[in-house]
């Protein structure tokens, strides 16, 4: 063990984060060789807990958060691993809704560092291994794990989950995943494992067929969220979404075993569980789709577990079947920052981490539905990727003015890519005859937006979007202004 490694073993939280950030120099590596070696050194912590593996272009983080909340409400000690974070790297790793503590983060990081001399671990490989170590340390009953990028070669794809899911497919990260929806779909299908159920909420028929065919070849039961969960009576507000739902459980579903129900049981081939009044704390139409996916995954997993588990110490709660109250409480209590979040009310100030075409389309539709007639001041920092122009153009129809701001850490070409520059922004806004201003500091951009809204705040909405990094920087700047 080198002297530098011994030093890293004794790092506090802030030193650990600084050392972790230095791992960005290894860039982005799609492949599992590093991850498998590291986990082997750590005695394979990923084998110590049951897991659910979630991929998708949009919605996978929200679905993971919803699922974690539902399982926690059902009595499971639940781990949640998502990325990227908004404010602190600790947000990525949670148990029963609580971020990993600074002390535990430093402790887990110290267990990884002895192997840095042998393995050039990336930032994401380190946080993934750290999460798995922490989940083992906490003896979680179920870990909900979000794919970082793609699926097949993502560092999280070392798991053998009880269920996998693909939430949606759209264009994003084409430089890594492929230039077509078909290529991106096949990449995400890499998380499908033989005999393990795969839940899909992918809408486009040809992409859905690719998932179904891939699953069929390796006898992985295929579950369509749209078929299992029917949504009706939606009522939207800026604070929550209310709706009714019906879950149809097919008793013939292979690999699930007998599904145990606490109520509404029947002797037929299927059972319908009805909810007349569900409250989802996350506003927006797209969150209904994420809730549908989460409910379908929960029902599928409870079917699998009730077939596998009868009596097991530490997992006794898992043999009770689908619990209606868990779904009700899980949806109502979920917290998920930066997703159509009303950060202030006068003027209305929305933050959202949307960063691709599909995300901006949903964002636009939500604003039109929940804030009709509002003049939108768009506070935006956007990464210069393969389709940034198409992404930006999705949101422009609702914009009165564009306010460009830099993305921290994106002023040069690096792991994250380069931020869109003033001249690039201005060209697009000019084409649409929308006024545009660019500010070199985030603070001055925010000040201008609030000044522009002025006293007529009932007529204006300030929308901050473009990336997790944009939202993080804006939140920090607002706290300094308060």
Domain ranges of the chain: 3-333, 341-481
pLDDT band, residue 8 (cuts 50/70/90): low
Q: Which of 283, 330, 333, 277 is nearest to 302 (CA)?
A: 330
pLDDT above 70 covers a percentage of the chain that reads: 85
CATH 3.40.1190.10 is held by the domain 3-333: yes
Q: Does 80 score more than 60 pLDDT?
A: yes
In 229-364, where do the E strands start and end? 229-236, 241-250, 270-280, 341-345, 348-352
pLDDT band, residue 357 (cuts 50/70/90): confident
Angle at 461 between CA 456 and CA 467, to 5 degrees: 150
Q: Does 184 score more than 90 pLDDT?
A: no
**Token pair of 238, please?**
């800026």
What dihedral angle (degrees, nearest 10) is formed by the CA atoms of 349, 351, 356, 358? -70
* pTM score of the predicted model: 0.89
**Average of per-residue pLDDT across 350-362:** 89
pLDDT of 9 reads: 63
pLDDT digits (tens, 9 = 90+) for 295-326: 999 999 998 887 654 334 344 444 467 899 99
Per the model's pLDDT, the better-predicted residue between 341 and 317 turns out to be 341
Whether the CB-CB separation of 236 and 280 falls below 8 Å is answered with: no
pLDDT of 266 reads: 47
**Average of per-residue pLDDT across 195-199:** 95
pLDDT band, residue 469 (cuts 50/70/90): confident
pLDDT of 418 reads: 67
Whether the CB-CB separation of 56 and 166 falls below 8 Å is answered with: yes
Q: What's the whole-number average pLDDT of the chain?
A: 86
Give the C-alpha distances (Å, rounded to integers) separating 336 from 85, 95, 237, 351, 453. 11, 14, 17, 12, 27
Kindly state the helix (H) or strand (E) to which residue 465 belongs, with its residue range: strand 460-465
Omega before residue 347 within 30° of 0, cis: yes
pLDDT above 90 covers a percentage of the chain that reads: 58
pLDDT of 319 reads: 47
Do the bridges between strand 241-250 and strand 229-236 make them parallel or antiparallel, or are there none, so unpaired?
antiparallel
pLDDT of 425 reads: 87
Burial (Cβ within 10 Å: 0-12, 13-18, ≥19) of residue 291: buried
Mean pLDDT is highest, among 189-193, 269-273, 381-385, 475-479, for 189-193
CATH 3.40.50.1970 is held by the domain 341-481: no
pLDDT digits (tens, 9 = 90+) for 382-433: 877 657 888 899 999 999 999 998 877 544 333 334 678 888 888 999 999 9
pLDDT of 191 reads: 96
**Average of per-residue pLDDT across 459-473:** 88
Q: Distance from first CA to last CA of the chain, Å, rounded?
A: 48
pLDDT band, residue 214 (cuts 50/70/90): very high
Instruction: Please enumerate in sequence order all residues whose Cβ is within 8 A of that of 47, keeping only pairs 6 or more positions apart, or say none.
Output: 160
Per the model's pLDDT, the better-predicted residue between 377 and 2 turns out to be 377
Q: Which residues pair with 380 in a beta bridge?
A: 404, 465
């Amino acid at each position: 063990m080198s002297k530098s490694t011994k030093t890293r073993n004794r790092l506090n939280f802030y030193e650990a984060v600084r050392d972790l950030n230095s791992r960005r120099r290894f860039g982005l590596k799609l492949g599992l060789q590093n991850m498998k070696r590291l986990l082997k050194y750590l005695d394979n912590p990923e084998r110590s807990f049951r897991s659910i593996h979630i991929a998708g272009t949009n919605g996978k983080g929200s679905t993971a958060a919803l699922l974690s909340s539902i399982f926690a409400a059902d009595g499971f000690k639940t781990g949640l691993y998502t990325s990227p974070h908004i404010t602190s790297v600790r947000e990525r790793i949670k148990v029963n809704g609580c971020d990993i503590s600074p002390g535990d983060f430093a402790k887990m990081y110290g267990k990884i560092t002895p192997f840095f001399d042998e393995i050039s671990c990336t930032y994401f490989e380190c946080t993934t291994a750290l999460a798995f170590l922490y989940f083992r340390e906490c003896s979680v009953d179920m870990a909900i794990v979000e794919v970082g990028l793609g699926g097949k070669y993502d560092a999280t794809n070392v798991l053998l989950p009880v269920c996998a899911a693909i939430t949606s497919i759209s264009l994003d990260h084409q430089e890594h995943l492929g230039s077509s929806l078909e290529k991106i779909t096949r990449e995400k299908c890499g998380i499908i494992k033989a005999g393990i159920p795969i839940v899909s909420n992918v809408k486009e028929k040809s992409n859905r067929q690719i998932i179904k065919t891939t699953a069929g070849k390796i006898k992985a039961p295929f579950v369509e969220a749209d078929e299992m969960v029917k949504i009706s009576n939606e009522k939207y507000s800026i604070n929550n979404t209310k709706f009714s739902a019906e879950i149809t459980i097919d008793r013939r579903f292979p690999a699930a075993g007998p599904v145990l129900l606490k109520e509404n049981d029947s002797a037929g081939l299927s059972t319908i569980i009805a909810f007349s009044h569900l409250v989802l704390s996350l506003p927006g139409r797209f969150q209904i789709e994420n809730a549908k996916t989460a409910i379908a995954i929960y029902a599928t997993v409870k079917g699998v577990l009730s077939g596998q588990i009868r009596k097991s110490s530490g997992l006794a709660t898992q043999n009770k079947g689908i619990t209606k109250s868990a779904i009700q409480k899980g949806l109502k209590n979920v917290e998920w920052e930066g997703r159509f979040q009303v950060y202030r009310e006068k003027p209305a100030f929305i933050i959202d981490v949307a960063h691709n075409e599909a995300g901006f389309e949903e964002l636009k539709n939500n604003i039109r539905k929940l804030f009709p007639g509002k003049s939108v001041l768009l506070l935006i920092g956007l990464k210069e990727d393969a389709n940034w122009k198409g992404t930006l153009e999705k949101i422009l129809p609702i914009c009165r003015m564009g306010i460009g701001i830099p993305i921290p850490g994106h002023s040069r070409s690096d792991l994250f890519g380069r931020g869109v520059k003033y001249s690039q922004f201005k060209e697009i806004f000019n084409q649409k005859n929308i006024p545009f201003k660019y500010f070199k500091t985030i603070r001055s951009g925010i000040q201008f937006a609030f000044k522009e809204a002025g006293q007529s705040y009932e007529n204006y909405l300030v929308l901050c979007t473009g990336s997790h990094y944009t939202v993080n920087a804006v939140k920090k700047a607002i706290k300094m202004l308060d």
